[in-house]
Amino acid sequence: MEIPATIRKRLEDFSRNVFVEQGQAPSKERYTSPAHDRRVLSSLPLQMSLFFNMCFFPLWWISELIMLHLKYSALPDYYKFILVTVLILMTVIEAIRLYLGYVGNLGEKIAELAGFWLLSILLQLPQILFQLFNEAILVQPLERGIHIVLALFILTQAVAGFVALRDLVRHTESQFHLRQFD
């Protein structure tokens, strides 16, 4: 499954604008290392977090489904709709997010890693924080525990993803400028 070219281009442009310092001018000293091309840029902390998140997510999903079933009759109709919608959205987004994280990190692809990072920050984090801190949805102790763990995974991945994406963009930029010097 490949990201369409227009979306890939926009994510790469976004990454370059956000993760490369504007005042950073290329210098020839930055590009003189012959081993510069062979460096592995995949982030081990990010990959470990993605792996453990992938193992944890089915447990989160089953727990969330059971808790939703137990408290469903006590919830107002609008919260029933919201919680079912959030569960469906989080399931779909988490599958896409984990896939993009794996492909982006291991394949050292900027667009996929940027998509992973944006999904983490803009969609998953607000949804999990809503479920964690909104007492009107009758948060149960099991839910609170699994939401805290998932929120920690998402925050860890957002930070590690930012660092990995920044390093990958800087490396790609240096390779681009190195080719211009030749």
Per-residue pLDDT of 68-120, as tens digits, reads 999 999 999 999 999 999 999 999 999 999 999 999 999 999 999 999 999 99
Per-residue pLDDT of 106-145, as tens digits, reads 999 999 999 999 999 999 999 999 999 999 999 999 999 9
Location of structure tokens 């081993």? 35
Query: How would residue 50 be classed by pLDDT, with cut points 50, 70 and 90?
Result: very high
Q: How is residue 26 annotated by DSSP?
A: -
CA dist., res. 94 & res. 91, Å (int): 5
